[in-house]
Amino acid sequence: MGPSWQDSIYRQREELARMLREPLAQLANKCTPVWGDRERLNALLLDGFSSIPYCTYLYALDPDGLQLSDNISKDGVMAGHFHRNRAERPYMQEAMPAWGFLLSDAYISQSGQRPSLTALQIVAADTGILGYVGADFDLRSLPVTSALYQEPADWRQVKGDPAIRGTLFLQTRTESPMDRNMQQALSILEELLTERGVFQCQIHFSSSQAIIWMIDDPLRYRILDQEVLKDPDICLLYPSRPYPTDAAIPPSDIVRILDGMRDLRLVDTTIYLRTASINIFNGMVSLTFSCDGSHYMRYDEFLSKGPAFWSGISA
């Protein structure tokens, strides 16, 4: 199992903290002799701005979060923030570590309404803590220092709308055009997935449509409605492509997956499959039932279960 998204965020934050801590500590030390002098603090922060990588704003705060300098940006001194009270901002609510440097959790900025974070460095003298040097960062400007996050393949269940779950046993599946044409539609989708360069397919059984993504044009989806899913000639629109060698799902299992989804659609008139998807590269399938509950799992785990199992789980 790969790292969780929380683990990936932790490693990213560790690397950012390593990058920012030393230059911010050096700048804070330089501020001690001029602490409390607005003009000299502005000048010192402006001179040191370029030493803080990726910084959007620099400023000085007293221990209670009252700003003692103006905001400093790459464009210079920004008037209007002197004596601004930042005590209620998210980064001021976090506990300062014993080593005197805090990299805050991400939050939404007040001015730009964008995901941001703040680094705070304690400024200290022999008499105690004088305050903090703060540095704000726009997440768009920060580098990604860790590998691209990989979605875990373990089984995940997500509960849906409580209103739908509450009326589950008052509803009955209504036969859709796809239900009446199930085998033809699934045979077309099997051809597209195994022979025609489709790598992801989302099937909406209740509304009788499928959405597909092509290897040749992966950033755009295509909608196949009920008329298309009745006509095998549609396969002529998509050129033949060899099945990808790096796909996680063997081509021989595609028909088994589609057959399993068909069974879950038709096995019961109360608890039944509404939508499903296949992605051949990450090897995952998803299932959303009439109770609005969704499941995400590896294809082989799905194939190991039968319709009776799923009827019980989704209830």
Could you tell me if residue 145 is inside a domain? no
* Whole-number pLDDT of residue 244: 95
Residues 178 and 133 in one domain: no
> According to the model, what pLDDT value does residue 114 have?
86
Question: Residue 315 — pLDDT band, cuts 50, 70, 90?
Answer: very low
Whether 300 and 160 share a structural domain: yes
190 with 132, same domain: the answer is: no
Q: What is the pLDDT of residues 9-58, one digit of tens each?
A: 777 788 888 888 999 999 999 999 999 899 999 999 999 999 999 899 99
For 145: left if phi > 0, alpha if psi spans -120 to 50, otherwise beta; the answer is: alpha
Determine, yes or no, domain membership for 143. no
Q: What integer pLDDT is reported at residue 269 of this predicted model?
A: 77
Burial class (CB in 10 A: 0-12, 13-18, 19+), 149: middle
Q: Summarize pLDDT for 232-242 with one digit per residue, the tens.
A: 989 888 999 99
pLDDT band at 314 (very low <50, low <70, confident <90, very high): very low
- The domain total for the chain is 2
Cα distance between residue 261 and residue 48, in whole Å:
61
Same domain flag for 162 and 294: yes
Is residue 115 domain-resident?
yes
Do 114 and 219 share a domain, yes or no?
Answer: no
* pLDDT for residue 312: 55
Most confident of the following: 163-167, 204-208, 305-309: 204-208
Asked if residue 166 and residue 133 are part of one domain, the reply reads: no
Domain contains 146: no
Model pLDDT, residue 80 = 83
Domain contains 148: no
Identify the domain boundary among 92, 112, 138: 138
Q: Domain range holding 30?
A: 5-138
Residues 81 and 200 in one domain: no
Residue 2 has pLDDT above 90, yes or no: no
Each residue's pLDDT tens digit, 191-220: 999 999 999 999 999 999 999 999 999 999
Of 82, 106, 138, which marks where a domain is finished?
Answer: 138
Residue 72: give its domain's CATH number. 3.30.450.20
Of 74-88, 142-156, 209-223, 287-301, which has the strongest mean pLDDT? 209-223
What percentage of the chain reaches a pLDDT higher than 90? 58
Q: What element of type H or E holds 136?
A: strand 128-138
- Same domain for 131 and 160? no
Is residue 255 domain-shared with residue 195, that is, in the same domain? yes
173 pLDDT more than 90: no
pLDDT attached to residue 119: 93
Mean pLDDT of 101-125: 89
Q: What is the mean pLDDT of the chain?
A: 86
| DSSP-derived secondary structure letter, 67 | B
Spatial distance between the Cα atoms of 298 and 278, rounded to a whole number of angstroms: 10
Query: Among candidates 64, 44, 52, which has minimal Cα distance to 25?
Result: 52
Q: Which is higher by pLDDT, 188 or 307?
A: 188
Between helix 5-31 and helix 38-48 the angle, nearest 10°, is 130
Q: Is residue 85, in this structure, part of any structural domain at all?
A: yes
Q: Taking 80 as the threshold, does the pLDDT of residue 111 lie above it?
A: no
Q: Could you tell me if 121 and 208 lie in one domain?
A: no
Lowest mean pLDDT among 117-126, 134-143, 168-177: 168-177
- Cα angle for residues 81, 82, 87 (degrees, 5° grid): 80
Query: Is residue 104 included in any domain, yes or no?
Result: yes
**Of 62, 30, 60, 44, nearest in space to 131 by CA:** 62
In this prediction, residues 163-181 reach a mean pLDDT of 74
Is residue 246 one of the residues assigned to a domain? yes
* Stretch among 55-69, 164-178, 226-240 having the lowest mean pLDDT: 164-178
Residues 125 and 169 in one domain: no
Q: What is the pTM of this model?
A: 0.65
Give me Rg for the CA atoms of the chain: 28
In this predicted structure, what is the pLDDT of residue 48? Answer: 93
pLDDT in tens, 263-300: 998 887 778 899 999 999 999 999 988 876 788 999 99
| 173 and 286 co-located in one domain | yes
Residue 308: its pLDDT value, please?
66
